[in-house]
Amino acid sequence: MKGMLSPSLMCADPLNLQAEIEKLDALGVDYIHLDFMDNKFVPNLTLDTNLVRAVKGVLRNMKRDIHIMAYEPEQYFDRMEIGSGDIVSVHYEACENLHEVIADIRSRGASPFVAISPDTKPEVILDYIEEIDGVVVMTVYPGFAGAPLVDGSFDKLSAVRKLIDDSGSNIILEVDGHVSWDYCQKMRRCGADLFVAGSSSIFGKGLKLDDSVPKMTELIK
Ligand code: DX5
Ligand code: ZN
């Protein structure tokens, strides 16, 4: 599977979001990563449901890659207008009945992904691997841009890749957190397919998307 980019909108210029989205779209980026936080599962609030919904109306080619860092994520699906083409990632650690949440996402025509935080063992995904379209491995503790890579992240990516391959499924392995210029190729070698690019790469200080997006696309291809 080719390496795909999912720029993290919470790392874009907050005063020029539509312009940044349109620029990314024009540059041929595959997904736009939309982080939603409830200030309970993670101690932060970022993009709200109105913005996640509004993004839908301005996308031309990009698809929404919605990362919900919140307890009972299903309560937000209507307000986000979850539908066909969306990736919706919910956290294993945040759902009472993850099977039901996955089925709810699927019933809306969207692609359910399960996200696992750094302290969660890779094996937990085996209970869901038949029902999902992808796994998100958090390589930072979720909640903030600019967080440091968690020790053992590369081994964890390889372990999840092996679980996916050994199960015979070809679901997507997404990596989220500190996907930096230095680390992205090693993450690719560990088996990542979809790369959340934030402040550690394409939105780095002083960088222009016209330059940073093609550079990152080349590195992860
Ligand atoms: C962190 C978010 C990521 C993050 C990625 O909880 O899920 O989207 O912002 O950006 P950097 O490169 O700053 O880790
Ligand atoms: Zn994210």
10 lines ligand 1 (CB under 6 A): yes
State residue 83's pLDDT score: 98
Cβ pair 178, 15 in contact under 8 A: no
Closest atom, ligand 1, to C-alpha of 33:
8
Give me the residue label for tokens 């919900």: 68
Write the DSSP assignment of 126-149 as a string of letters.
GGTTTT-SEEEEESS-TT-TTPPP
Cβ pair 82, 64 in contact under 8 A: no
- From the CA of 9, how far away is ligand 1's center (Å)? 9
Q: Tell whether the torsion through CA atoms of 82, 84, 85 and 89 is positive or negative.
A: positive
State residue 221's pLDDT score: 93
Question: Phi/psi at 134 (nearest 5 deg)?
Answer: -175, 165
State residue 75's pLDDT score: 98
Cβ pair 117, 90 in contact under 8 A: no
- From the CA of 211, how far away is ligand 2's center (Å)? 23
- Ligand in nearest proximity to the CA of 7: 1
What is the pTM (predicted TM-score) of this model? 0.98
- From the CA of 35, how far away is ligand 2's center (Å)? 5
199 lines ligand 1 (CB under 6 A): yes
State residue 32's pLDDT score: 98
Q: Which residues of the chain have pLDDT under 50?
A: none
pLDDT digits (tens, 9 = 90+) for 80-96: 999 999 999 999 999 99
List the catalytic residues: 35, 176
7 lines ligand 1 (CB under 6 A): no
Pocket test for ligand 1, best of 199, 207, 220 (most atoms within 8 A of CB): 199
CA distances from 120 to 101, 115, 116, 117, 156 (A): 19, 10, 6, 6, 10
146 lines ligand 1 (CB under 6 A): yes
pLDDT digits (tens, 9 = 90+) for 147-178: 999 999 999 999 999 999 999 999 999 999 99
Q: Whose CA is nearest to atom 3 of ligand 1?
A: 177
HSE value, Cβ hemisphere, 13 Å, CA-based, for 12: 23
State residue 214's pLDDT score: 98
CA distances from 145 to 131, 140, 183 (A): 30, 9, 16
Q: Whose CA is nearest to atom 4 of ligand 1?
A: 145
Cβ pair 24, 34 in contact under 8 A: no
CA 130 and chain centroid, separation: 20
- From the CA of 141, how far away is ligand 1's center (Å)? 9
Write the DSSP assignment of 43-103 as a string of letters.
S---S-HHHHHHHHTT-SS-EEEEEEESSSGGGGHHHHT--TT-EEEEEGGG-SSHHHHHH
Q: Which domains does the chain have, with CATH numbers?
A: 4-219 (3.20.20.70)
